Each structure stands twice: as structure tokens, then as C-alpha cells.
Amino acid sequence: MNDGVLKYHQNNVNYRMILFLTIISTFISGIIIKKLTNEKKPVANNV
């Protein structure tokens, strides 16, 4: 019984970690994309 509870708890933690990491990576990639587009806009305007 304890093993089952431990396994479930471990899976839950892993799921939360994956969710957390995906949210963070999405947020960071969004910031990077914004910076890239902001840097590209002036160049496009000059051309």
C-alpha cells in the first residue's frame, strides 16, 4: 500500500515539475521572441 502511495506521489511531483518547466520555457521563449521581433523591426524600417 505504501509503495503505491509513494509511486503516485512521485508521479504527481514529476507531472508538476514537467508542467512548471514547460510554463517557464514557454515564458522564456516568449520573451526571447519578443526581443528578436523588437530588434528586427528597426532594421526592417531602415531598409
What's the pLDDT tens digit per position in 33-43? 999 888 776 66
pLDDT-derived band at 44 (thresholds 50, 70, 90) equals low
DSSP state at residue 1? -
How many residues are given for the chain? 47
The pLDDT tens digits for 21-36 are 999 999 999 999 999 8
- In percent, the amount of the chain with pLDDT more than 90 equals 38
Question: How distant, in Å, are the alpha carbons of 7, 38, 39, 41 from that of 46?
Answer: 59, 13, 12, 9
In the chain, domain spans = 1-39
- Classify 47 as helix, strand or coil: coil
Residue 32 and residue 47: Cα distance in Å, rounded?
Answer: 23
